[in-house]
Amino acid sequence: MQKPYIVGITGGSASGKTTFLNKLLSSFSPEHISLISQDNYYKPREYQTKDQNGVINFDLPSCIDDDAYAEDVRKVSQGETVYRTEYTFNNPGVVPRQLEFKPAPIVVVEGIFVFYFEEVAKLMDLKVYIDAKEYIKLQRRITRDRIERGYDLDDVLYRYTNHVAPTYEKYIKPYKHDADIIVPNNNQFEKGLQVLTTFLNSKIQP
């Protein structure tokens, strides 16, 4: 089997990473692409940091078990299959699945800190940054958190102002210029997706 080509994808919260990822994954057959998401490496709630008002800040690098994440990415890059229990964001109505991360010609590692975590970043062959204007990200965040997660507007704005925005400025935005490809996503990302898909297809051996 060919050595997996590791693609890192990052961007600020609500920049549209999930939508972009879903489109990217659907452009390949399952045996040609694999996804290892940072979202499944959050530490248990009791190990999370609270802010000065006692609100858990899930937007810090310390929230993620980066050692385990890097180790699993390394194993997959070396041809091993990795198993991990799905992280359900403390949703009591969701039964966690047992996830299987298989080696593939293309392996995508995704999350807001994947460029920041040095041990993960150095495994990447290509870095992709999804970019969007700040007001657009805020609008998307409000819509997502109110509709999908049931947060009220005050809670959404509090977390965005005190957690999300400072994290973006300190841990995400500075790594934008490390990216090999920057995909603007204020309105649509189809051209960027097409460029990336065409390039990655060239990395799949016949």
| Residue 201 host element (H or E) | helix 190-201
pLDDT recorded at residue 206: 76
CB atoms within 10 A of CB 173: 14
Per-residue pLDDT of the chain (206 residues; tens, 9 = 90+): 688 999 999 999 989 999 999 999 999 999 999 999 999 999 988 899 999 999 999 999 999 999 999 999 999 999 999 999 998 876 677 788 999 999 999 999 999 999 999 999 999 999 999 999 999 999 898 888 777 667 788 888 999 999 999 999 999 999 999 999 999 999 889 999 999 999 999 999 87
Within-domain flag for 150:
yes
For residue 60, give both structure tokens. Answer: 């810090």
Within-domain flag for 192:
yes
Tell me the C-alpha distance between 111 and 64, whole Å.
Answer: 10
Residues in a beta bridge with 183: 130
- 169 SS3 class: helix
Give residue 5's region: left, alpha or beta (phi > 0; psi -120 to 50). beta
pLDDT recorded at residue 58: 92
Q: Which amino acid belongs to residue 81?
A: T
Domain with 55, as residue range(s), is: 5-201
pLDDT recorded at residue 43: 93
pLDDT recorded at residue 90: 65
Give residue 39's region: left, alpha or beta (phi > 0; psi -120 to 50). alpha
For residue 100, give both structure tokens. Answer: 């299987």
Find the CATH number of the domain harbouring 10: 3.40.50.300
Within-domain flag for 206:
no
The CA–CA distances, whole Å, from 38 to 30, 62, 113 equal 19, 12, 8
Q: What is the DSSP letter of 43?
A: P
pLDDT recorded at residue 152: 84
For residue 20, give both structure tokens. Answer: 């972009």
Within-domain flag for 195:
yes
pLDDT recorded at residue 149: 66
For residue 113, give both structure tokens. Answer: 């800190």
Residues in a beta bridge with 82: 101
Within-domain flag for 9:
yes
Q: How many domains does one find in the chain?
A: 1
CB 77 within 8 A of CB 125: no
For residue 142, give both structure tokens. Answer: 């409000």
